[in-house]
Structure 1
Amino acid sequence: MAEVRFLRTRAGARIAYTVDGAGPALVCVPPWTTRLQAQQELSGHRTFVAELARHHTVVQYDRWGTGLSSRDRDDMSVDADVATLADLLDQLHLRRCALFGASQGGGPRRST
């Protein structure tokens, strides 16, 4: 199981995250609620991440307000979620990555 690490966002939230594997970065955008520790205990999830980690650096994180991350959250906007993601990418010095999102983590595209 991956070690759970923490970062402090510019908004002051403490965000839990894990990093597995090596290779091009693949960041898993969390759904509505997450709990890294519980996910790591699910054999299907462990197998899924292990397969991805064979060829990628897989980054998972608890959404702000859930799991091991800070609970105190007033701003539930997409912008707040994007800011958290940007802070995580900065913490890990990732200039490029692929994003994987299931459920709310894979929200609809905005048309311009």
Structure 2
Amino acid sequence: MKGCAVPQLRVGPDVDLYYEDVGAGPPVVLVPGWPLTLDSWECQVGAFAEAGHRVVGYDRRGFGRSTRAWTGYDAATLVADLAGLIEHLDLRSAVLVGFSSGAVEATGYLATRGTDRVRGLVLGGPLAGAVELGRDLQAAGRWHRVAMLDDVLTRFFSVNGEIVLDEATRSHLLHSAAGSSARGTLAAIDAWADPTVDLAVPDVPALVVVGDSDAVAPTRQISAPTVTIPSGPHAAHVTHPQQWNEAVLAFLAS
């Protein structure tokens, strides 16, 4: 496994994206879901790299170790940031893996940039067009942002009201989310809560992976093969990494 590349990419005036680039082989690009960061892919980075893939992950603008930008949280700019990273690293035949709201950026990239650099798509618990949820989260977050994030990450990792993730890991991910830009945390909701967002899968091989007890993302009819993780919550890639990774690695191998 190679070491991390230069971890900052300038994508706009005074905006740098933090990214990590490890492993060698066919590239896989991990797009985190709101309000999480690259840290949420910990169980995937090592597994995918050890399976013979080049794994690229990043923190979207305003989140984690990327610049706490004041603007640029609309879907088009977030897609442009992803495109800038792919082009900067000159990735070819990549597979985009988007979790939750990361599905908006992943499918948005294919819809606007085409398939020249991308050979496949994985959507984990895809979330888009949840207008009422988005409004509720923004209203709560204006006054009690950290408490709102605490509630969100409880729901991300719960099955039938019971958390199925150890508290140490949940607290770590909450700390990462809470350390992100307050403005970015609330503004980025519009990118995935927009009712006009289309998660149509372009003409590339695709896979959808969902938890059968997802209490966050509404059931979506996406024209792609779907793997369902038994007793899995919204963020099944964190709580059930072995099953989630096996499904995705089988897709990557195909």
Structure-2-length-normalised TM-score: 0.37
CA distance in 2, matches of 1:88, 1:22: 17
Match of 2:96 among 96, 99, 105: 99
Per-residue deviation, 1:47: 3.7
Per-residue deviation, 1:30: 2.0
User: Tell me, which stretches of 5 or more residues in structure 2 are unaligned?
Assistant: 105-127, 129-198, 202-254
Residue 62 (structure 1) aligns with: 59
CA contact (8 A) 1:24 1:57 kept: yes
The 3-state SS of whatever aligns with 1:64 is coil
AA in 1 matched with 2:44: F
CA contact (8 A) 2:21 2:56 kept: yes
Per-residue deviation, 1:76: 1.5
RMSD of the alignment, in Å?
A: 2.4
Match of 2:76 among 68, 74, 79: 79
CA distance in 2, matches of 1:72, 1:48: 27
Displaced runs of 4+ in structure 1, greater than 4 A?
none
Residue 17 (structure 1) aligns with: 19
Per-residue deviation, 1:110: 4.2
Residue deviations 1:14-59 (CA, integer Å, cap 9, x gap): 00000121111100012123444xx2xx8xx534321111221110
Seen in structure 2, the aligned counterparts of structure 1 residues 26 and 74 have a Cα distance that, compared at 3 Å, is same
More helix by share: 2
Deviates more, 1:47-56 or 1:78-87: 47-56
Structure-1-length-normalised TM-score: 0.79
User: Tell me, which stretches of 5 or more residues in structure 1 are unaligned?
Assistant: none
CA distance in 2, matches of 1:73, 1:99: 27
Residue deviations 1:45-85 (CA, integer Å, cap 9, x gap): 53432111122111000010111101023121111111001
Count residues with an aligned counterpart: 104
CA contact (8 A) 1:32 1:105 kept: yes
For the pair shown, the structure with the greater C-alpha radius of gyration is 2
Q: Which structure is higher in RCO with an 8 Å CA cutoff and minimum separation 6?
A: 1
CA distance in 1, matches of 2:94, 2:74: 23
AA in 1 matched with 2:69: D
CA distance in 2, matches of 1:88, 1:73: 20
Per-residue deviation, 1:98: 0.5
Residue 50 (structure 1) aligns with: 46
CA distance in 2, matches of 1:80, 1:53: 29
CA contact (8 A) 2:72 2:78 kept: no
Residue 29 (structure 2) aligns with: 27
